[in-house]
Amino acid sequence: MYKILIIDDEAPVRKMLKKLLERNEFDVIEAIDGNQGIKMYHEERPDLIITDLIMPGKEGLESIRELKKIYPHVQIIAISGGGFVDPKMYLDLASKLGAVRTFAKPVDSDILLSTIKELLA
């Protein structure tokens, strides 16, 4: 069973993603910010990370940069609602830092699942 780490400060988003992924037979672990997410990645070594970009504490762009520096092959999907600006700006930066796929919130469940399955195949 593949393990996926969800990093998002919004509990409802984490809950929705966790339900979706567990219904599709993925093992899910959660973190509330980049600091906790990086620590959990070191400890658990999940197969894939889904991270929000705008969070208090260590935000997603910084987390992607740090994780890719230590683990260049880590697969990261970045998601963002954009905060005060268009999410495309943040998502473009996430791609440049090494996110393999990016999605604006709200994320289409079917597209997210097919992307995860493609990346883990």
Residues paired with 79 in a beta bridge? 52, 103
Instruction: Spell out the domain ranges in the chain.
Output: 3-120
* Banded pLDDT at 87 (limits 50, 70, 90): confident
Report whether pLDDT(83) > 80: no
* Banded pLDDT at 86 (limits 50, 70, 90): confident
Domain 3-120 sits in CATH 3.20.10.10: no
Report whether pLDDT(53) > 90: yes
What are the backbone angles phi and psi of residue 28, rounded to the nearest 5°?
-125, 135
- Residue the block writes with tokens 């943040």: 90
The strand order across the sheet containing 27-31 reads 27-31, 3-7, 48-52, 76-80, 101-104
Contact, 34 vs 6, CB < 8 A? no
What mean pLDDT do residues 86-114 have?
94
What mean pLDDT do residues 78-100 have?
89
pLDDT of residue 104: 94
pTM: 0.95
